[in-house]
A and B are shown apart, each in its own frame.
Chain A
């Protein structure tokens, strides 16, 4: 009797858990696919808004070849060259600043630090990544501006150097985390083998660990570049927001993202200016997509080995 009554109840239980299983299966699927849907949705939206401009008012030569970004002029022109060069120059300086900081920090955390020091450093690096970009921008605007004017005796402190340093410090924590992961992924047997051959610590890092982690380090740098292209608020505040082709790091420039942020809120929807800003958005989207894809391919290069 007891056995007989136990069978249907167990069946009931299986029914309930089967239902829960199914539910979670669906939830997981939705969660997994949502990222893809969002990306496609964003791309479709940006393209849709920018498309009318691309087909009607768009001149390829003007957009990529002219620095005349005058959307509210009586005779509006939409030359994005200075904005593209501005973004590229800031990102370039940022990467030069970020590489030594992030690779150095990653090597120290992964190869030298132990125990509490290591844990504390990792937490601190993550904390650094949590500082809001508007705070970085504020530092650039209020502290770095005066500092750069005084130290370098230049007319204006809101320039490529200022924005590049700020952006470099912002990108460094993420780059450090990824680079550290790459160093951690190098098998210990490499280090042990090198040590057995009589190599010093420095020789191990320089000739064994860094070359073995090369792909991960390159992808860390690429993701830093992607961050640089996409960052908005800090760059808007620290770069000077001036349409200008820089000839030195002390020239003010304007970034693509900052232009969209400063102007989009105040343009009438569907106007030519609105479309032009979305065309900038499409261009930015394509660049960050290519950079992230490149980073991904490089990492995949590691796994094959």
Chain B
């Protein structure tokens, strides 16, 4: 009695399993990773609907680590990254018979965020390091020679990202010289959380992609040569390389892309895709002339 039923259900399941991919008229590209890139990736996915309605792009954030982990597990087609793939991660892919391909899709300036009442206009990378690095001596705003209105305790509240965010890894590499962070920073899950918290906390300092900035927040100019020249974080200074903490934004595929994935990546690197990047507050991978109204 039981066996035929079991076979019957097995048959149904197999049929359903076979039927779905062939029956569907739309191909879905799975795209996951860096929170820094998630806004622009979503905009790409939406705009690509008009370019090729037969392709749907499903975008998820969660951090560079998540995206690359999913690429390793084979659950995504494209991983978004705001740091380079690690050798260990590349090794796992190669071990499984893949040869990962990297695409530079744009650039991002890592902006330093301060409360709008904070009087600091300029900060050096050395000072940032002394604030954030393990054993760094800067703990109070008065040590930087300022009094922050609304921050009577004078304590510097360090806001950081969770330890697998690409932004976290890049900050550690570019500012902390790969040394450890001082414990006790508030480790936020997303770039937007950093901005929200700094906006409401006079004592705070934070960092994240320039594109997350808003009018309520104050961004000091940064210098990497001990204060010789200070550069404001802007799209232009990220492209020309004068802003000291800017990084490339990347997309990874497990193998040389083919078919719809390749077409999508080509489109991202086209003028149309790059202008969306610019419109979202990032720097483009190459000089592009965009219409003044930026299309959207």
Interface residues of A (CB under 8 A from B): 67-74, 82, 141-142, 145-146, 149, 153-158, 236, 240-244, 252, 254, 262-263, 265-269
Contact, CB under 8 Å: B183 / A240:
no
Given A265-B66, A267-B65, A243-B162 contact (CB < 8 Å): no
Q: Determine the chain A residues whose CB is within 8 A of the CB of B63 once the complex forms.
A: 266
- How far, in whole Å, are A68 and B183 apart by their CA atoms in the complex? 8
Which one, A70, A146, A243, contacts B184 given CB within 8 A? A243
- Decide if B187 is an interface residue (CB 8 Å cutoff): yes
Binds A, one of B15-23, B150-158, B233-241, B279-287: B150-158
Contact for A266 among B69, B155, B157, B193, CB less than 8 A: B69
Q: In the complex the two chains form, is B164's CB within 8 Å of A72's CB?
A: yes
Assess the A154–B153 pair: CB atoms within 8 A.
yes
Instruction: Give chain A residues whose Cβ lies under 8 Å from the Cβ of B204.
Output: 156
Taken together as a complex, chains A and B put the C-alpha atoms of A302 and B268 apart, in Å, by 69
In the complex, 23 of the A-B residue pairs with CB atoms within 8 angstroms, ordered by the A residue number, are A67-B183, A70-B181, A72-B164, A82-B183, A142-B196, A145-B197, A153-B152, A154-B153, A155-B155, A155-B201, A156-B203, A158-B197, A242-B186, A242-B187, A244-B183, A262-B162, A263-B162, A263-B164, A265-B66, A266-B66, A266-B69, A267-B69, A269-B73
Answer whether A268 and B186 are a contact pair too, CB < 8 Å, given A70-B180, A145-B201: no
Residues of A within 8 Å of B180, CB to CB, are 70, 73
User: Contacts of A72 on B, CB cut-off 8 Å?
Assistant: 163-164, 168-169
**Chain A proximity of B42: nearest CB distance (Å):** 19
Contacts of A269 in B (CB 8 A): 73
Give the 5 A-B CB pairs with smallest separation, nearest first.
A266-B65, A266-B164, A155-B203, A244-B184, A72-B163
The CA of A244 and the CA of B202, in the complex, are separated in Å by 21
Question: In the docked arrangement, what's the CA distance between A252 and B187, Å?
Answer: 10
Docked pose: A155 CA to B197 CA in angstroms: 12
Central interface residue in B66, B168, B185, by most chain A CB within 10 Å: B185
A67 to B182, CA, bound (A): 12
Instruction: Kindly list chain B residues whose C-beta atoms are within 8 Å of the C-beta of A241.
Output: 162, 186-189
Q: Does B72 contact A (CB under 8 A)?
A: yes
Known: A154-B153, A262-B162. A242 touches B185 (CB 8 A): yes
Q: Separation in Å of the A11 CB from the closest CB of chain B?
A: 22
Whether A155 pairs with B200 at a CB distance below 8 angstroms is: no
The distance in angstroms between the C-alpha atoms of A236 and B203, with both chains bound, is: 21
Q: Give A265 to B162 CA distance when docked, in angstroms.
A: 12
Chain A CB within 8 A of B62 CB: yes
Q: Is the CB of B201 within 8 A of A240?
A: no
Please name all residues of chain A whose beta carbon is closer than 8 Å to the beta carbon of B185 when the two chains form the complex: 242
* A240 to B184 CA separation, bound complex (whole angstroms): 9
- Given contacts A146-B200, A156-B203, are A252 and B186 in contact (CB under 8 A)? yes
* B225 interface residue per 8 A CB criterion: no
- B234 vs chain A, min Cβ distance (A): 30
Q: Is B178 an interface residue (CB 8 A)?
A: yes
